Amino acid sequence: MKQRPILPPTYFNLAVLVSIALHFAMPITTFIPYPLSLLGIVLIVFGGVLNIWADQSFKKAETTVKPFEKPSALIVDGPFRLLRHPMYFGMLVILFGISVICGSLTSFLGAIGFWIVIRIRFIPMEERAMIDSFGREYEEYRQKVFCWM
């Protein structure tokens, strides 16, 4: 039986749980007090909108959103005009929003862990796949658009 790879949304959900659990289990220091912590809602909404916008771009281009599948289109419009991995960035912004709402230092560990996993496990693999699939066109895109992750 072929084992399915763990996809980024699973790591995202785990990071959400870790952030919230650490906040309640070990809220080392609360440095974002209420009502300032409600600014996290803005981050969550922004990250969610960014994810939906990027997902719509994938659907419009009729290419896969799954990192282990071969891409069939190079998307350079929509949120991809601004950053190379908008869905990961959106997830990270949501995680930071959750951490801001929690307000404790330990709640940021989930977001940091998510960033590390995405940066090591997914981005290099996806960048190679895009170069293999689109060559010079992707290299030119990479030179123009920053990788925020």
* Domain count of the fold of the chain: 1
Q: Per-residue pLDDT averaged across 40-68, rounded?
A: 95
Strand-pair partners of 30: 104
| 77-125 tens-digit pLDDT | 999 999 999 999 999 999 999 999 999 999 999 999 999 999 999 999 9
**Which structural domain, as residue segments, surrounds residue 131?**
9-18+37-63+75-144
Q: C-alpha angle 131/134/139, rounded to 5°?
A: 55
User: Is residue 125 included in any domain, yes or no?
Assistant: yes
- Domain membership of residue 131 (yes or no) is yes
pLDDT band of residue 29 (cuts 50, 70, 90) is: confident
Which of 138, 104, 114, 84 has the alpha carbon at shortest distance from 16?
Answer: 114
Residue 116 belongs to a domain: yes
54-67 pLDDT tens trace: 999 999 999 999 98
